[in-house]
Amino acid sequence: MSPTTDPVAELRAAVAAAAAELSDNGASKTFSFDRPPKPEFGDYSTNAAMLLAPTMGEKPRDVAQRLGALVEQNLADEVEKVDVAGPGFLNLFMSDAWWRDALAAALAAGESFGGGTAEPAERILVEFVSANPTGPITVASARHAAYGDALSRILEFAGHAVEREYYVNDEGGQVQRFAQSIQARARGEEPPEDGYAGEYVGDLAQKIDGAADMDLGELARRGVDLMIEDVRQTLERFGVSMDRFFFEHTVHENGEIERTIELLGEHGLIYEHEDAVWLRTTNFGDDKDRVLRRSTGEFTYLAPDIAYHVHKRERGYDRLIDVWGADHHGYQSRMLAAWEALGGEPGRLELLIMQLVNLVERGQRVQMSKRKGEFVTLDDLIDDIGVDAARFFLLQRSHDTTLDLDLSLAREQSQDNPVYYVQYAHARIASILRKAGEERVREALEADFSEELHPSARGLLKRLLGFPDEVTVASARRAPHRMTVYGHDTAQEFSAFYRDCRVVGAAEEGGDENFRIATCVMTQRVLARSLELLGVSAPEHM
């Protein structure tokens, strides 16, 4: 996005230029530029003077005075006035002319407004969900799905090239027990003690011809294939399209695990002890070394997992993001150790830990255990409250905090869900624009504005102009939940604007209908984009 399509970035740059001029380019500190908490502190505010003061050997408020005078001179009639406040804040009050031009500039940016700011743009692989292929997607995995997908959408919009991948653990003991459980059901028996007892296991047994007498390896493969197809369909229904399902067995079959272990051995990081092969992860800060190959000759989960990450790295991504469950946090250090051991650049592999989802049903915890078959699936959740509410709900909280999802509340009082509030604002704007008529809207967008801004209009515009920053922060901090807050705030600001400023028929109260229609169009675009980044629909009617 070019500077001229982000009015706030342009303004910030103007202030930065003035600060540089004032300090003789001496200071290159990054100062704040944000919306102050109260209207009397102006529209935008900077602490630049406070940061420059020490190196300039002057008092902060004096520096702020001089900076303010310079900004006022440079920006001329774009700025109404500047104030020095508190310990040395410089507060900018923008003129109506600036707001009108800012709206026009933001509209001119079109669909790209707020996007494409990533610097540098990277090729990123986001691996998420990756639940064992031994059962349907649960609500815990649903949070991973919503998070990983929303994060991917935001990264893409910010300008990165993103691929979504699901790692399928189709080897090892869990899959063995899965196959044994299917076979038991096929024979009309109970699954083994440590097997899978869910109803779906019986369904699989019926779908697979000859499951009762099939070779367990073959049965496992068939079962996993069917299970993953279910998973894929559920994810699609949830609005999540994986670019790839990567099967663990591929690194077993093409010798990449052995190659990885050899590679580690060349770095002197491998040793044998009690017939097992160990990796010296303690060299990289792990609290103990880890087994790669058991004394029985089988690999632990870690060996193929490292091989998988080598595989991913060799595919040429700039960055790998793994979304892991809270129960995996103990594996961060060993995976990062292996990554570094193999020459991976620290920081290029990000292991994001998702905290748990507590399902609450009428005040009671709902247990989620695939083995016992007591769990709420993502399909169940979607049936209850719909994709939009489910995604919004699961995305509302930061990924590193535990999420309480009250099913009975979400089901019975879904009108209280904030997602409807945001969608309602979008639908209401659509209605206003329908009332104005397509032709009127087109005219309005091409007109010169003359509006004298109501405080509500200024507040709304300020929020809309903050969208690019919001995307940048949500992207950089891997924090999709910020878009739920932003969407809600924007809807709220629109409600105030709607109350105070009649749009269709604005002239009757001395307003500029063109400006107000344009403001509606801009709000609608930003709301639609915010919802899209969350994977939530933006309806024209409700």
Partner RNA sequence: GCGCCCGUAGCUCAGUGGAUAGAGCGCUGCCCUCCGGAGGCAGAAGUCGCAGGUUCGAAUCCUGCCGGGCGCGCCA
Q: Which of residues 50-79 bind RNA (CB under 7 A)?
A: 50-51
Of the CA atoms within 13 Å of residue 386, those in its CB half-sphere come to: 15
Vertex 229 angle, CA 225 and 235, to 5°: 140
The CA-based angle 294-295-301, given to 5 degrees, is: 5
Does 144 bind RNA (CB under 7 A)? Our answer is no
Nearest-approach distance from CB 35 to RNA, in angstroms: 9
Q: Does 280 bind RNA (CB under 7 A)?
A: no
CB atoms within 10 A of CB 177: 19
Beta strands in 239-306 (DSSP E): 244-247, 270-273, 276-279, 290-293
**Nearest distance from residue 79's CB to RNA, in Å?**
15
Is residue 112 a contact residue for RNA (CB under 7 A)? no
For residues 142 and 86, give the distance between their C-alpha atoms in angstroms, rounded to a whole number: 47
Nearest-Å Rg of the Cα atoms of the chain is 28
**Among 96-104, 257-265, 327-335, 341-349, which window interacts with RNA (CB under 7 A)?**
327-335
Which one of residues 404, 412, 446, 452 is an interface residue with RNA (CB under 7 A)? 404
Q: Closer CB to RNA, residue 47 or residue 183?
A: 47
The DSSP element (H or E) to which 532 belongs, if any, is helix 513-534
- DSSP 8-class letter at 239: T
Dist. CA 82–CA 231, nearest whole Å = 57
Dihedral angle at the C-alpha atoms of 66, 67, 72, 73, nearest 10 degrees?
A: 70
Quick check: 246 binds RNA (CB under 7 A)? no
Stretch that binds RNA, among 309-317, 367-375, 382-390, 399-407 (CB under 7 A): 399-407
Least distance in angstroms from the C-beta of 188 to RNA: 27
Question: How far, in Å, CA of 283 to CA of 134, rounded?
Answer: 35
Q: Given the rule CB under 7 A, which of 95-103, 154-162, 310-318, 503-511 is the region that contacts RNA?
A: 503-511
User: Three-class SS of residue 358?
Assistant: strand
Task: For residue 510, state whether it binds RNA (rule: CB under 7 A).
Answer: no
User: Least distance from C-beta 276 to RNA, angstroms?
Assistant: 4
Size of the site for RNA (CB under 7 A): 86
- Least distance between RNA and beta carbon 213 (Å): 26
Q: For RNA, what does the binding mask look like between residues 334 and 353, x meaning CB under 7 A?
A: -------------------x
Please say which residue, 95 or 495, places its beta carbon nearer to RNA: 495
Q: Whose Cβ is closer to RNA: residue 285's or residue 343's?
A: 285
Is the Cβ of residue 5 or residue 396 nearer to RNA in the bound state? 396
248 binds RNA (CB under 7 A): yes
- Name residues contacting RNA, limited to 436-495 (CB under 7 A): 477, 479, 481-482, 485, 488, 492, 495
Of 13-21, 116-124, 207-215, 497-505, the window that binds RNA (rule: CB under 7 A) is: 497-505
- How far apart CA 332 and CA 334 sit, in angstroms, is 6
Does 537 sit near RNA (CB under 7 A)? no
Q: How far apart are the first and last CA of the chain?
A: 33
Backbone φ, ψ for residue 464 (5° rounding): -65, -40
Q: Of the two residues 109 and 302, which places its CB atom closer to RNA in the complex?
A: 302
- Whole-number Å distance between alpha carbons of 153 and 534: 8
Minimum Å gap between C-beta 316 and RNA is 25
Going residue by residue from 282 to 321, which x/- string records binding to RNA, judged by CB under 7 A?
Answer: -----x--xx--xxx-xxxxx-------------------
Q: Which of 330, 346, 363, 510 binds RNA (CB under 7 A)?
A: 330
Q: How many angstroms from the chain centroid is the CA of residue 365? A: 27
| Separation of alpha carbons 63 and 266, rounded Å | 59
Using rule CB under 7 A, residue 363 touches RNA: no
Q: Is 502 in the site for RNA (CB under 7 A)?
A: yes
Beta bridge partners of 45: 34, 91
